[in-house]
Amino acid sequence: MAFLADALSRVKPSATIAVSQKARDLKAKGRDVIGLGAGEPDFDTPDNVKKAAIDAINRGETKYTPVSGIPELRKAIAAKFKRENGLDYDWQQTIVGTGGKQILFNAFMATLNPGDEVVIPAPYWVSYPEMVALCGGTPVFVSTKQQNNFKLTAEELESAITPKTKWFVFNSPSNPTGAAYSADELKALTDVLLKHPHVWILTDDMYEHLTFGDFKFATPVEVEPKLYDRTLTMNGVSKAYAMTGWRIGYAAGPLQLIKAMDMIQGQQTSGASSIAQWAAVEALNGPQDFVAQNKAIFEARRDLVVSMLNQANGIVCPKPEGAFYVYPSCAGLIGKTAPSGKVIETDEDFVSELLESEGVAVVHGSAFGLGPNFRISYATSEELLEEACKRIQRFCGACK
């Protein structure tokens, strides 16, 4: 009899974590590797946030917290949703988890039964379908088109919804494409969802504060308040405040769902780190100038990377509205021969040959459900990004 659970056969390891680990392994062996696979800012956590954590330690805030989070943080979350998104939530409609991943996982665990379908636009963050599968649901993928800047259309969403659909997962700005939906583009989708009252919306707004130019962020319930009673709005401090390692995600939604998620979390991890929670209070309530400063840096990096990649033979790189990723097509290189002599047949071949030949680690698009593309995280210095793009140009030029 097999020792491991059958559920594991439905799940694949995270490709993004695997790429970062492979880059670390090669570096440890002395290879000159530029890793562009990690989805985290290269900035340090703001000093006021670090100080709030230290102060919390010195005050003795080191005990268990309530499962759903300390009231001070939950009230700060409710205030953030009101201030920035125009959404009215009582603080008891909020929940704090150990990162956004736990929020998503607990929502699926609390709601999915065998046969329930979850509509996920592709390309998608690698963890969405794996979480759905682990929780007994069935991921239903809807491929977006590069000519639409990887944004789902109303017709594409309508075609994916069935009587078995339980959730629609929405992520804007997107990991992996950086695509972000304007209020008008989002309204086209919420109009479809209004016609299907059995479908709940799980919106992942983790990259909310990383949008560029004149783009204005919008979230589903802000655009269509009639969806309030069937939407879970998830966010966190990881990306905007450079707090990935602190592991704080949060959400607000209907009280019945929040209570169900609280019950699952109570038998799983209980409350998130008390010290990290106090740091998150300061992140949400404290000065916000850090966010705008870093956004400007990311925008300059995006412009550099898009420009240089579009000068590489066989690469087409759309200019995304947000996050810190680009998702270029390598279709022009499929069928060509890499410097090693290997024929590039897939985007996975492309990224493998690029790493071996030039020491640049990126993630293949098929891991995100749509290729032939690859994802670059530009959350690193302009100097490294410029060098990485030169290497990609050289590699593409050498493919015959």
Mean pLDDT by 10 residues, the chain (400 residues): 83 78 86 90 96 98 98 98 98 98 98 97 96 96 97 98 98 98 98 98 98 97 98 97 97 98 97 98 97 96 98 98 98 97 96 94 95 96 97 97
Q: According to the 3-state scheme, what is the secondary structure of the chain?
A: CCCCCHHHHHCCCCHHHHHHHHHHHHHHCCCCCEECCCCCCCCCCCHHHHHHHHHHHHCCCCCCCCCCCCHHHHHHHHHHHHHHHCCCCCHHHEEEECCHHHHHHHHHHHHCCCCCEEEEEECCCCHHHHHHHHCCCEEEEEECCHHHCCCCCHHHHHHHCCCCEEEEEEECCCCCCCCCCCHHHHHHHHHHHHCCCCCEEEEECCCCCCECCCCCCCCHHHHCHHHHHHEEEEEECCCCCCCHHHCCEEEECCHHHHHHHHHHHHCCCCCCCHHHHHHHHHHHHCCCHHHHHHHHHHHHHHHHHHHHHCCCCCCECCCCCECCEECCECHHHCCCECCCCCECCCHHHHHHHHHHHHCEECEEHHHHCCCCEEEEECCCCHHHHHHHHHHHHHHHHHCC
Whole-number pLDDT of residue 11: 85
Whole-number pLDDT of residue 1: 60
* CA–CA separation, 275 and 118 (whole Å): 34
Q: Which CATH entry fits the domain spanning 64-287: 3.30.565.10, 3.40.50.2300, 3.30.1370.10, 3.40.640.10? A: 3.40.640.10
Q: What's the CATH fold of domain 6-44+290-395?
A: Aspartate Aminotransferase, domain 1 (3.90.1150)
Rounded alpha-carbon distances, angstroms, from residue 179 to 192, 267, 379: 20, 36, 16
**Where along the chain do its domains lie?**
6-44+290-395, 64-287
